[in-house]
Amino acid sequence: MSSLIGPDEDVTAGKPPVPDDVQEAVRTLIRWAGDDPEREGLLDTPTRVARAWKEYCLGYEEEPATHLSRVFEEVGGYDEIVLLKDIPFQSHCEHHMAPIIGKAAIAYLPTERVVGISKLARVLHGYARRLQIQERLTAQVAQCIWDHLKPRGVAVVIEASHACMTARGVRTPGVSMVTSHVMGTFRSDQRSRQEVLQLMGY
């Protein structure tokens, strides 16, 4: 079976329509940037850009905390650090709407319950798929886990590259920003803090 799309097939079938004012906003930006939105290569760009941004910002359509609603209490007495690291994510800077691309490490010290590890990544993505600054993203992930799992400690470290710095402005590629947010035991006990950061590779 051929996977090629015929010239008369509608590649947007099944997708919701993009409002005219949204498409016109993209056309206006194209004109302002110096190009012609009516030329062949840009004719469908307003619709594509609008749908892409709807996908980039899916986090506005969910409550990340819901991913922590199902917990497991049969942990066999386990009460040490739970860590998920090198979690890739993408977000967009709220100042320039430029990409933020990076990785996160999320750790918590459970009391009597744990959560499926994929849920930690889902919490991260729920907040990342919004217009963000890295500092707030780091704090939001930590606070969500603290509030809903009630652990003894939470630690979140995010390392990311910001296109608003690497591709414009100071134009300095190859740099990354690191932010951390620790709560509970990881904040009050220096040894616990050192242990979790060492496990994370920091």
Active-site entry in 57, 62, 94, 148 = 94
Which of 93, 132, 140, 159 is catalytic? The answer is 93
Q: Any catalytic annotation for residue 194?
A: no
Catalytic residue among 57, 62, 143, 164: 164
Phi, psi (5° rounding) for residue 160? -150, 155
Give the separation between CA 7 and CA 56, rounded to whole angstroms.
28
Mark whether 92 is an active-site residue: no
Q: Cα separation of 88 and 159, whole Å?
A: 10
Q: DSSP assignment of 116-180, as one string?
A: -HHHHHHHHHHHHSSEE-HHHHHHHHHHHHHHHH--SEEEEEEEEEEHHHHSSTT--TT--EEEE
The catalytically annotated residue of 57, 62, 96, 143 is: 96
Q: Give yes or no: 144 in active site.
A: no
Tally of CB atoms within 10 A around 147: 12
Q: Which amino acid is at 189?
A: D
For the question of residue 125 being annotated catalytic, the response is no
95 is catalytic: yes
Active site residue 148: no
> Exactly one of 67, 134, 140, 181 is catalytic; which is it?
134
Q: Which of 38, 61, 90, 95 is catalytic?
A: 95
**What is the three-class DSSP state of 169?**
coil
Q: Which DSSP helix (H) or strand (E) runs through 33?
A: helix 20-33
β-pairing, 99-109 with 177-184? Answer: unpaired
The catalytic site residues sit at 93-96, 134, 162, 164
